[in-house]
Amino acid sequence: MGRRCGVLGDPIEHSLSPVLHRAGYAALGLDWAYAAHRVASGGLAAFLAGLGDDWRGLSLTMPLKREAVPLVDELTERARLAGAANTIVLGSDRLLGDNTDIPGAIAAIRERTTAPLATAAIIGGGATAASIGLALADLGVRHLEIVVRSPERAFETAETVRAHPGRPAITVSRLDEATTFEVDLVASTIPAAAQDHHLVRACGDVPTVFDVIYHPWPTPLAASIGDRVLVGGFDLLLHQAAVQFELFTGRPAPIDAMRTAGEHALAQRASA
């Protein structure tokens, strides 16, 4: 029987998730539907209450990842550790919350570089930053700097990453005081509009830059990369969507078909 899935968030119009998941369904001949739904902060519980038996999975983006945690019946270990769920799998009588940003980030980074990573900085302190921090800890990072406009807003993220089994050392600093990052990788989770010349200069000597934004693209950070390694937001979106696809359908994700569809959609946006 046909199933329904979707992506929820606010704003949501820019999301490429429908393109990726629908391409996967088409490649496997699945009679499934996937659509974007605008759900503002505080609205997730009501949306969940209105779902029928034909719903199988939800992808969550800002501002719902932490809001989802108390609304599900069960959390995977990675979602529990992150304190955030970007995925809800709907079973017959239970809601499972998962976090595919973590394995998605690992796959995205390792697709672009195999260099050892011991030190890193993350720009931003929200739920996505926490997931990226946990992914970096999985990859061997032992010293992590969280760089934010207001240090008090990074407390939850810092505590989340500090609880990783690898026990990475965490420092929190102010974005407006950043000068030069001397780390193996810097990851930005802030909007493109917030990436000013000061930030771009501070990241100028970092060998690997990971920007989780995919729209608009390129961001100022991405445009400054030169011959250094760039991990883009589309890389993360694709790989976390592939994990979601498998959770929802129980089938291996046709990642090549999903990648082609996503790249085509991005090219159309760039030329519009």
What residues are annotated to the active site? 65
Contact 187, 203 (CB under 8 A): no
Rounded to the nearest 5°, which phi and psi values hold at 187? -115, 130
Contact 14, 36 (CB under 8 A): no
34-64: b (≥16 Cβ within 10 Å) or e: bebeebeeebbeeebeeeeeebbbbbbbebb
Rounded to the nearest 5°, which phi and psi values hold at 234? -65, -35
CA angle, 203 then 143 then 63, to 5° = 70
- Residue type, position 157, single letter: T
The sheet carrying 208-211 orders its strands as 169-174, 143-148, 119-123, 185-188, 208-211, 229-231
